[in-house]
Amino acid sequence: MNFKQTMEMKIGQIESCIRQYLPEECGEQSRLIEAMNYSILAGGKRLRPLLMSEAYRLFGGCGKEIEPFMAAMEMIHTYSLVHDDLPAMDNDEFRRGRKTTHIVFGEAMGILAGDGLLNLAVETAMCAFDMTQFPDRTANALRTLMHKSGLYGMIGGQSVDVLAEGQSDVTIETLDFIYALKTGALIEASMMIGAILAGASKPEVREIELAAGEIGRAFQIQDDILDVVSTTQQLGKPAHSDEKNGKTTYVTLLGVEEAKRRVRTLSERAAARLDTFSGDAAFLKQLFYSLIKREA
């Protein structure tokens, strides 16, 4: 199989994994569950669970304990998008080519759907304790998941991003901080968790964290570029939303060409780090480079 076929196969496996851990739409709270499932089954790249599973394989992992963490990671990522789309944040009406959760289910239910996915993510990740002979690895992975998604990770970055909206004095250093936390932290967590569960050493986990951080920054800068050069139809969400929301980005500060150069540099640096490991990183490298060329 070529890269595209392999990618489609792996994403199909991830979709099955996620569905396995979703709640049944029944009971008095069925409307909430429907909103949660609507949000997470909207599709998407499934990049974070894919990176997690590939890091797990890179370090020789072959068990089932990775699966609840893969599902949990996508739940956390999805809840962040549901909240990001709310009127108090980006106020977007479309995500992944269809109406956002709060547009379909109402703002209150949108908030609760995000909350529900976050709580469900923790419950789901804890299922890994019943699937492993190494509970210390699972505890470390769970700690990493919560740390990177919280105050010193995704949520912390989001808070600085909100405060920077409409400000004219935002610097590259501030953008790098926002991108490292808001986008990079969950990508770091994904690859770190894969490595941790597979039994990687602390120096190996640190190196994979650095690679993931670089690819996370590259991914977000590419988002900046696509917001300017792509259309709403291509993106599956509103184009030019950064300008609408008064956001400073790499493109507004450095221009499209310099932003593209930064994406290439960061991606190449991240891919080079994979050469320090003995495992087969061929697919993971191709995945890194594919992020540079993506159009959505």
DSSP 153-182: THHHHHHHHHHHTT-S---HHHHHHHHHHH
pLDDT at 130 over 70: yes
Domains identified in the chain, total number: 1
pLDDT given at position 238: 62
Of 73, 75, 11, give the one whose Cα is nearest residue 40: 75
Range of the domain at 115: 3-293
Cβ-in-10-Å burial (0-12, 13-18, 19+) of 94 comes to middle
CB atoms < 10 A from the CB of 23, how many?
A: 16
pLDDT at 141: 98
pLDDT at 96: 84
The pLDDT score that the predictor gives to residue 296 is: 66
Average pLDDT over the chain, rounded to an integer: 93
Task: Please determine, for residue 7, whether its predicted confidence score (pLDDT) is greater than 90.
Answer: yes
- CATH code of the domain covering residue 275: 1.10.600.10
Model confidence pLDDT, tens digit, residues 62-110 = 999 999 999 999 999 999 999 999 999 989 999 988 999 999 999 999 9
User: Which residues, 6 or more positions from 8, have their beta carbon under 8 angstroms from its beta carbon?
Assistant: none
CB atoms within 10 A of CB 265: 12
CB of 205 within 8 A of CB of 192? yes
Q: How many C-beta atoms surround the C-beta of residue 258 within 10 A?
A: 13
In this predicted structure, the answer to whether residue 155 has a pLDDT above a threshold of 60 is yes
Q: What is the pLDDT of residue 243?
A: 62
> What pLDDT sits at residue 239?
59
| Tens of pLDDT, residues 279-295 | 999 999 999 988 877 77
